[in-house]
């Protein structure tokens, strides 16, 4: 009989995969969800089992808007929120509605490799735009605009995957200005926005959404609650929300996740979600420090900037072929993600992405020790 896996994770026992970008099982809040589900079933509102409103359940959108308003310090209009089945489903819908195969889009170099795969499925041509410590290089982007106009620029502006970098406020303003002038969308994948452990990041692109037609902020409960929920949201201009909600997919199936959003609503309203995020910040901050300390102690040659949030260290190992490292380090029971995975042009050969989301402090150090053992083995 075939084995049918439950999750995407498949690791040999004892293996430490420092490349893993999934949250730790221990941090998935089953109890919190249970309490929220109890609230839901006690109310017993059958409307949440019907074909849902295309933009999402109005009660959930209001609860989410209140939550975002409190978190961000400025009033979010629930009418500008569109409930999704996670960030990937949002990106997929945006590609379906706003692009055609052969169209050009711009993306950061490096960028999230699974988003790049999704864009490839839609036949899009990705033009990579270099980054530096302040994120996407807007000057370089502006130069590319002279050659080709993208349908959209895909950016992970805050605690980027994989680089951990955050786009500075002046560059955000400039990008929005360019988007308005040249009429392309800024698709900002802001799923790490609230996971900051040090310096707070700039305002999200979501803050532009009310006024600027070209800005689409994509967000998700996957990092702040649980990926298995497949629940997320888009915050965008009314024109964009109307286009998404008016699509054939939404007209046919109704809102993307009415039942789950209704279950989650209780914890959004009760403060449970905010507490969960506060808990994650503390826990991830400890893990970040543990990975940093382990790298500095065991692999002093590793070059990186300390991220202020998110899940990832983007580490340069000078002179190391990271693809070969990934294959060969398996014998040492340790995994990484090679930089080339995140490149649209097979670059970033001596970079690795390390994550501190899936393992506790001891395993993180143990993983780094294994990595050092491999590097020192001369294999």
Contact set for a copy of itself, span 69-98 (CB under 8 A)? 78-79, 85-89, 91-92, 96-97
Contact stretch for a copy of itself (CB under 8 A) within 137-145, 223-231, 283-291, 359-367:
223-231
Is 254 an interacting residue with respect to a copy of itself (CB under 8 A)?
A: yes
Complex with a copy of itself: residue 122 or 372, whichever CB lies closer = 122
Q: Is 18 helix (H, G, I), strand (E, B) or coil?
A: coil
Is 50 an interacting residue with respect to a copy of itself (CB under 8 A)?
A: yes
Quickly list H helices, 148-206.
Answer: 169-182
Looking only at the bridges linking them, the beta strands covering 351-355 and 337-338 are antiparallel
Task: Measure CA of the first residue to CA of the last residue in the chain; give whole Å.
Answer: 38
CB of 198 to a copy of itself, least distance (A): 27
Is 277 an interacting residue with respect to a copy of itself (CB under 8 A)?
A: no
Is 58 an interacting residue with respect to a copy of itself (CB under 8 A)?
A: yes
Complex with a copy of itself: residue 5 or 318, whichever CB lies closer = 5
Contact stretch for a copy of itself (CB under 8 A) within 23-31, 166-174, 282-290, 304-312:
23-31
CB of 278 to a copy of itself, least distance (A): 19
Contact stretch for a copy of itself (CB under 8 A) within 147-155, 199-207, 243-251, 366-374:
243-251
CB of 251 to a copy of itself, least distance (A): 5
Q: Per DSSP, what are the bridge partners of residue 131?
A: 136
Is 226 an interacting residue with respect to a copy of itself (CB under 8 A)?
A: yes
**Strands, DSSP E only, in 125-240?**
125-132, 135-136, 152-155, 185-189, 215-220, 232-236
Which residue in 39, 69, 118, 174 binds a copy of itself (CB under 8 A)? 118
C-alpha span between 124 and 168 (Å, rounded): 27
Q: Is 159 left (phi over 0), alpha (psi -120 to 50) or beta?
A: left
C-alpha span between 276 and 172 (Å, rounded): 29
Which residue in 139, 211, 251, 376 binds a copy of itself (CB under 8 A)? 251
Residues 151-190 that bind a copy of itself (CB under 8 A): none
Is 237 an interacting residue with respect to a copy of itself (CB under 8 A)?
A: no
Alpha-carbon separation of residue 106 from 121, 185, 344 (angstroms):
16, 10, 10
Going across the sheet that includes 351-355, the strands are 312-316, 351-355, 337-338
CB of 188 to a copy of itself, least distance (A): 16
CB of 169 to a copy of itself, least distance (A): 28
Is 13 an interacting residue with respect to a copy of itself (CB under 8 A)?
A: no
Is 145 an interacting residue with respect to a copy of itself (CB under 8 A)?
A: no
Complex with a copy of itself: residue 2 or 199, whichever CB lies closer = 2
The CB-side HSE value for 186 (13 A sphere, CA atoms) comes to 34
Is 15 an interacting residue with respect to a copy of itself (CB under 8 A)?
A: no
Residues 326-365 that bind a copy of itself (CB under 8 A): none
Instruction: Extract the tokens encoding 299.
Output: 């692999």
By CB atoms closer than 10 A (0-12, 13-18, 19+), residue 174 is middle
Complex with a copy of itself: residue 93 or 175, whichever CB lies closer = 93
What are the residues whose beta carbons fall under 8 Å from the beta carbon of 103, sequence distance 6 or more? 123, 124, 125, 150, 151
Complex with a copy of itself: residue 131 or 250, whichever CB lies closer = 250
């Amino acid at each position: 009989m075939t084995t049918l896996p439950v999750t995407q994770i498949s690791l040999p026992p004892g293996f430490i995969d420092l490349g893993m970008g999934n949250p730790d099982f221990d941090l998935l809040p089953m109890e919190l969800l249970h309490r929220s589900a109890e609230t839901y079933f006690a109310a017993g509102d059958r409307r949440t089992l019907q074909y849902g409103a295309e933009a999402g359940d109005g009660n959930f959108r209001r609860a989410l808007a209140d939550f975002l308003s409190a978190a961000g310090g400025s009033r979010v209009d629930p009418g500008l929120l569109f409930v999704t089945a996670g960030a990937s489903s949002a990106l997929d819908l945006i590609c379906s509605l706003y692009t055609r195969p052969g169209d050009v889009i711009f993306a950061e170099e490096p960028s999230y490799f699974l988003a790049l795969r999704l864009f490839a499925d839609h036949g899009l041509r990705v033009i990579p735009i270099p980054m530096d410590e302040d994120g996407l290089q807007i000057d370089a982007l502006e130069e590319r605009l002279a050659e080709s106009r993208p349908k959209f620029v895909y950016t992970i502006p805050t605690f980027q995957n994989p680089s951990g970098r955050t786009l500075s406020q002046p560059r955000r303003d400039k990008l929005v200005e360019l988007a308005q002038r040249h009429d392309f969308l800024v698709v900002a994948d802001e799923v790490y926005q609230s996971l900051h452990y040090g310096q707070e990041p700039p305002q999200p692109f979501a803050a532009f959404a009310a006024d600027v037609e070209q800005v689409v902020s994509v967000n998700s409960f996957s990092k702040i609650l649980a990926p298995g929920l497949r629940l997320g949201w888009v915050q965008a201009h009314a024109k964009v929300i109307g286009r998404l909600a008016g699509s054939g997919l939404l007209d046919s199936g109704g809102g993307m996740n009415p039942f789950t959003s209704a279950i989650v609503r209780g914890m959004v309203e009760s403060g449970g979600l905010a507490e969960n995020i506060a808990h994650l910040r503390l826990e991830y901050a400890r893990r970040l420090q543990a990975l940093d300390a382990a790298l500095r102690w065991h692999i002093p040659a590793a070059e990186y900037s300390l991220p202020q949030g998110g899940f990832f260290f983007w580490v340069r190992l000078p002179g190391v072929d990271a693809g070969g490292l990934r294959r060969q380090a398996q014998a040492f029971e340790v995994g990484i993600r090679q930089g080339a995975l995140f490149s649209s042009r097979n670059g970033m050969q001596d970079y690795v992405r390390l994550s501190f989301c899936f393992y506790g402090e001891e395993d993180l150090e143990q993983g780094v020790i294994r990595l050092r053992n491999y590097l020192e083995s001369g294999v």
